[in-house]
Amino acid sequence: QGNMAFTGKYEFESDENYDNFVQKIGLPSDKIELGRNCKIVTEVVQNGNDFTWTQHFPGGRSTTNTFTVDKEADIETMGGKKFK
């Protein structure tokens, strides 16, 4: 069984199914419009089974979540909702 490396920066490419996705994660309608065509850069740092996932938004705002594979984690969505 091999390991996959996810470390890197990923830039927004398209918004196919954007509305359906953001509605399902509970993003408010005013944020949905602001996010349309927003060029988000996602930075992933992997250290074994530990991940740091940071999304950088235009204007300098960012959100960071950390988690470990097979362990419960506290995560926050783009819209500020928290879940495990």
Higher pLDDT, 83 or 5: 83
| Of the listed ranges 10-14, 53-57, 70-74, the one predicted with least confidence | 10-14
Please compute Rg for the chain using Cα positions: 14
What pLDDT, on a 0 to 100 scale, did the predictor assign at position 36?
A: 76
Q: Given a cut of 50, is residue 1 above it in pLDDT?
A: no
CB contact at 8 A, 30 and 11: no
Specify whether the backbone of 54 is left (phi greater than 0), alpha (psi in -120 to 50) or beta: beta
26-71 tens-digit pLDDT = 888 887 887 777 788 999 999 999 999 999 988 888 999 999 999 9
Partners of 53 in beta bridges: 44, 65
Q: Which CATH number does 8-83 carry?
A: 2.40.128.20
Q: What pLDDT was estimated at residue 8?
A: 92
